[in-house]
Structure 1
Amino acid sequence: MMIPFPNFEPDKSPFEGSSSANVVNAQPVANGWGPMAGLTIVSSALPGECRGGVYVRTAAGNYVVIAGTATRLYKLNTTDYTWTDISGPSAPYNVPLQDAWTFTRFGDKLVAHNISDAIQVYDIEAAGNFSDLGGSPPKAKYSWVAGDFLVLGYLEGTNGQKTVRWCGVNDITFWTIKERGADFQELPEGDEVMGGFAEQGGFTVVQRAAMQFFPFAPASGFTFTRTVLNPKQGTLAPRSIVSIGPGRFFYLSEDGFFGGVDRQPIGAERVDRWFLEQIDQTYLGDVQGSADPFEKIVWWKYRALNGNFYRIGYDWQLDRWCTTDIAVGEMMALATPGITWDGLDLLYPDIASVSEAFDSRVFSGGRPTFATFTTDNKLAYFSGPDLEATIDTAEIEISQDTRTFVSSARVITDAPISGFTLADGVMAYHGDSVTWSTANSANRAGLVPFRSDGRLHRFRLVIAEGTVWSIASAVNAHGVGSGEQ
């Protein structure tokens, strides 16, 4: 009987065959599961926990990686992969515990800010250090660019948390209200601003309990007007909002994961209940989302009950979920710095110790690659050797009338037979606890031997770390009826 490795959807029944409650360190592919890359560390440690990061490209085509801690801003030195302090005169900064740096590019300037400190600006072409942004802009949690305007959301001061404000046309140092297009809007409904992003013809604001669109409308006498898109629902986790293109964004609400202004459920009866059981509810509002530009997966980092930070991912092209057990820190999409042959000496003691493939994206500067900071504050890209993958089937009745004795099984995968094991978990009835066989390797013919008997069978494939493979799609189980029960 051919038993597929199904989607990771732990909220569904384990008996209906099309879902698995246990897939770890594997990514969705069209007809099954593929490998998930591990980490490649590419820097020395930041002096503190990363609280936000970004990359920018100069006119000359060079890529600059910048990261912030609670007190300083740093640039990655791609000569020796250390961090150079480029903080402005306002440093040391004081990023609040529940806040992070927001980075927004406007032309050849990079704006960096949080709710506690003066807005910082960095000249991408001239380099140097950050400085305080001129024009006396308000402190703010969030920012984005809408056409020729820098928009700030969740401002300091009375009712600032419900306010958006934008600069003068094409001038981020001009903030005089009612002049040159600069203005503000206090939102009377929807509670505090949780974030925003540019859309064609304006920008969208996501609040705790509403979503609104601000179209560019100078003919009206105002720079932007306002339209309520969703009057009742928003997000409780501001950093969970991830925009992937016009009209397409995803976010976490109190009852699960959704997409768009109409709250299309992407996690309902699939992963929502599982996720809410895994996360420490105290930190539900701190969930951070980021899109992997190479794999087309939105990842959300969350704090589990054991205190570690893990990820759950949504593949927006395949409409499928995945998860991993690797602990991570701050996540972001970064261009790779480009590691030279001389630079290898700084990261690896010798050539034999280089675990990264030499055609890896991490060695070719400028490739968009998903990144994180490790628990010891080092920058790492998800481009290393593939992680150990665990993939379970559903709990299957091979025969509808009898128990089944399974003598062997063949895994439909391109992983080498020396690179994986397969175990058979059996149950005497629906709801019975699982009794696992020994995890066996395949013989020279590709068959994994078993002597397992039960009414239901659940197969567990484990592919070793570093194994080269691209797909695992099914288990072909060989069994015979062993008596009615």
Structure 2
Amino acid sequence: MPAIPLPPYAPDVASADAAVSGVARNVLPRADGYGPVLSPVPITLPLPEDCRGAVAFVSPAFGTWVYIAGTRTGLYRYNNSTTGWDSIGNPLRGYSMPDGDSWQFALYGSKLIAVHLGAPPQVLEVDGVQPFRDLGGGPPRARAVGIVGEFLVLAGLSGQPNAIRWSDLGNPEFWQPGLYPEHTADIQIFPEGGAVTGFSGGEFGIVFQERSIRRLTFNPGSRQVFDTSLVEDNRGAVAPWAICKVGARTFFLDRDGFYLFTGGISSPIGAERVNRAFLAAVDPRRLGQTIAVRDVYGPRVIFGYRTAAADPDRKALLDAGLVYDWQLDRWSALSLSVTAGLATATPPVSLDALPGTLESQVLSFDDSSYLGGIPALGFITSDNRLSLLTGPPLEATVETADAMLARPNRSFARSVRLDSDAEDWRAQVGGRESLARNVAVGWRPETAPTVERRAPCRSSARYHRVRVRIPAGTSWSYATAVEVDATAEGMR
């Protein structure tokens, strides 16, 4: 019997004969199948309450990684010596975060800017010892922040939702508009397109509205300072924290699904694959809380979202995820409860934090692993700890599509073999007589492989599918196909 490839994940589409799969959980897409997702390993003590946004960056002065996290009432900095979180919030101001809001951060030189709608923009001198303070110049409260050239840009403004504001050139603490040419701080109001819902910076800015996408380009010597051009109409972003820029690519979430923007017309990346399944599962009241995080290990972006079944007492909890590989143009699903995500690197190891005695350490103290800086994907998990995805693989589950193993006859399946280097795996075979929606798949008991590396089964049906489960902690790097040992039966 020919091997049945483990197909691309596309739960929106009915499948037969190995076209697509409706289940690919805790795996990463590969050109030949799937690979493992590593489990989160906590590296910090818990934050005092649910995280509402986090960021990681390299200190401009010291070259070490800095982790900042925000909650509903405070801002915190990771302390490498204690593995705890030091409070660095503004001692002169309380942070009254609206429900459903979150901190957003932008690094402007050595200044870290933090915004949400419940407080004026905050600034931290990242290489200093002072806590956050109000950003000077009287900037408005905003939901989103970004940097275009030497301008600090605020979007999603309190009181002016359809406008953006930018600082003076080279001075993020000067905001008084109308003083051109001495100063370039100003405001741009968009009469059409709805409220500004997100912003992405860089060499030029991308302004996302409810129903429009605009390009913001610096025009030196112009009274308008920036040229704003309408790039796309009737398309916008619904979640400010699900806007993820990777090089020339910007990923975002609109009300009908996921898109990729590269400067021209945005391209749908989830249509007829994951959009319907996502919109059926996500809590519609918390759609705007969806986040996007770049995967430092490969050409992927991870979207975390809150389902309707999430804990109602944990309003910041995101209990499901989707992985998109833009090189392969393939998806997979992720079961991981988090409150924030960040592309980061491993921190340096403090001698005080080493287990055991100094004499018992295996590695030399000049080993490079103690210095940290190894790229890692980080999440604030449901226990409010910063965790890096560096542990053993999570439990993985993949299903094939329905297949007629002896077309046009029925077939009897006896065993299954998995093409994989997994040390351990389990298989479950299901069968049904029709592809009609009201005909359920009848699953046989899950079995482990024998010494011949075949998992026995006994299933007689017209259509068969195989569910493969690789237990948590199992060492593996690829799974590409399943081979079913089956014989033809009659037409009925």
d(CA) in 1 for partners of 2:32, 2:477: 11
* One-letter identity of the residue aligned with 1:479: A
User: 320, 323, 330: which is aligned to 1:310?
Assistant: 320
CA apart distance, 1:90: 3.1
Secondary structure of 1:277's aligned partner = helix
User: 337, 350, 355: which is aligned to 1:327?
Assistant: 337
Secondary structure of 1:91's aligned partner = coil
Q: Do residues 186 (structure 1) and 171 (structure 2) align?
A: no
CA apart distance, 1:362: 9.0
CA apart distance, 1:165: 0.9
Tell me the matched-pair count.
Answer: 467
Residues 189-228 of structure 1: pairs in structure 2 closer than 5 A: 189-200=192-203, 202-228=204-230
d(CA) in 2 for partners of 1:91, 1:66: 18
CA apart distance, 1:199: 4.2
Match in the other structure for 2:259: 258
CA apart distance, 1:342: 4.5
Q: What is the percentage of aligned positions where both structures have the same residue?
A: 34
Q: 1:337·1:362 contact (CA, 8 Å) conserved in 2?
A: no
d(CA) in 2 for partners of 1:168, 1:430: 63
d(CA) in 2 for partners of 1:16, 1:302: 31
Q: Do residues 424 (structure 1) and 429 (structure 2) align?
A: yes
Q: Show CA shifts across 1:344-385 (max 9, x none).
A: 439xxx99xxxxxxxxx9976223322222222111112221
Secondary structure of 2:44's aligned partner = strand
Residues 443-482 of structure 1: pairs in structure 2 closer than 5 A: 443-482=450-489
* One-letter identity of the residue aligned with 2:433: A
d(CA) in 2 for partners of 1:312, 1:439: 26
Match in the other structure for 1:97: 99
Indicate the larger mover: 107-116 or 283-292: 283-292
CA apart distance, 1:181: 1.3
User: 282, 286, 291: which is aligned to 2:289?
Assistant: 286
Cα gap change, 1:52 to 1:144, in 2 (>3 Å): same
Match in the other structure for 1:74: 76
Match in the other structure for 1:339: 349
Match in the other structure for 1:237: 239
* One-letter identity of the residue aligned with 2:483: N
d(CA) in 2 for partners of 1:199, 1:145: 6
Q: 1:336·1:363 contact (CA, 8 Å) conserved in 2?
A: no
Q: 1:56·1:124 contact (CA, 8 Å) conserved in 2?
A: no
Match in the other structure for 1:62: 64
Q: 2:100·2:286 contact (CA, 8 Å) conserved in 1?
A: no
* One-letter identity of the residue aligned with 1:422: A
Q: 1:362·1:383 contact (CA, 8 Å) conserved in 2?
A: no
Q: 2:348·2:371 contact (CA, 8 Å) conserved in 1?
A: yes
* One-letter identity of the residue aligned with 1:259: L
Match in the other structure for 1:358: none
Instruction: Give me the TM-score of the superposition, normalised by structure 2.
Output: 0.91
User: 393, 396, 407: which is aligned to 2:403?
Assistant: 396
Q: 2:81·2:352 contact (CA, 8 Å) conserved in 1?
A: no
Secondary structure of 2:305's aligned partner = strand
* One-letter identity of the residue aligned with 1:474: A
Cα gap change, 1:362 to 1:69, in 2 (>3 Å): farther
d(CA) in 1 for partners of 2:193, 2:435: 46
CA apart distance, 1:89: 2.8
Match in the other structure for 2:89: 87
CA apart distance, 1:70: 1.1
Root-mean-square deviation (CA, aligned residues, Å) is 1.9
Q: Do residues 385 (structure 1) and 392 (structure 2) align?
A: yes
d(CA) in 2 for partners of 1:394, 1:409: 15
Q: 1:113·1:119 contact (CA, 8 Å) conserved in 2?
A: yes
Q: 1:71·1:91 contact (CA, 8 Å) conserved in 2?
A: no
Secondary structure of 2:416's aligned partner = strand
d(CA) in 1 for partners of 2:235, 2:149: 27
Residues 149-168 of structure 1: pairs in structure 2 closer than 5 A: 149-157=151-159, 160-168=160-168
d(CA) in 2 for partners of 1:342, 1:296: 36
d(CA) in 1 for partners of 2:370, 2:273: 37
Secondary structure of 1:8's aligned partner = coil
Match in the other structure for 2:35: 34
Match in the other structure for 2:276: 273
CA apart distance, 1:428: 2.3
CA apart distance, 1:82: 0.7
* One-letter identity of the residue aligned with 1:196: F
Q: Show CA shifts across 1:116-157 (max 9, x none).
A: 212211112223311221122222111111001111112223
d(CA) in 2 for partners of 1:450, 1:231: 54
Cα gap change, 1:51 to 1:363, in 2 (>3 Å): farther
Residues 97-136 of structure 1: pairs in structure 2 closer than 5 A: 97-136=99-138
Match in the other structure for 1:357: none
d(CA) in 2 for partners of 1:38, 1:365: 19
d(CA) in 1 for partners of 2:460, 2:170: 72
d(CA) in 1 for partners of 2:330, 2:145: 30
Residues 365-376 of structure 1: pairs in structure 2 closer than 5 A: 365-376=372-383
Q: 1:296·1:316 contact (CA, 8 Å) conserved in 2?
A: yes
Q: 2:193·2:209 contact (CA, 8 Å) conserved in 1?
A: yes
Secondary structure of 2:287's aligned partner = helix
CA apart distance, 1:334: 2.6
Secondary structure of 1:220's aligned partner = coil
Q: 1:210·1:232 contact (CA, 8 Å) conserved in 2?
A: yes
d(CA) in 1 for partners of 2:16, 2:25: 20
CA apart distance, 1:25: 0.9
Q: 1:336·1:362 contact (CA, 8 Å) conserved in 2?
A: no
Match in the other structure for 2:25: 24
Q: Which runs of 5+ in 1 are unaligned?
A: 352-360
Q: 2:52·2:339 contact (CA, 8 Å) conserved in 1?
A: no
Secondary structure of 1:282's aligned partner = helix
Secondary structure of 2:277's aligned partner = helix
Match in the other structure for 2:365: none
Match in the other structure for 1:169: 169
Match in the other structure for 2:314: none
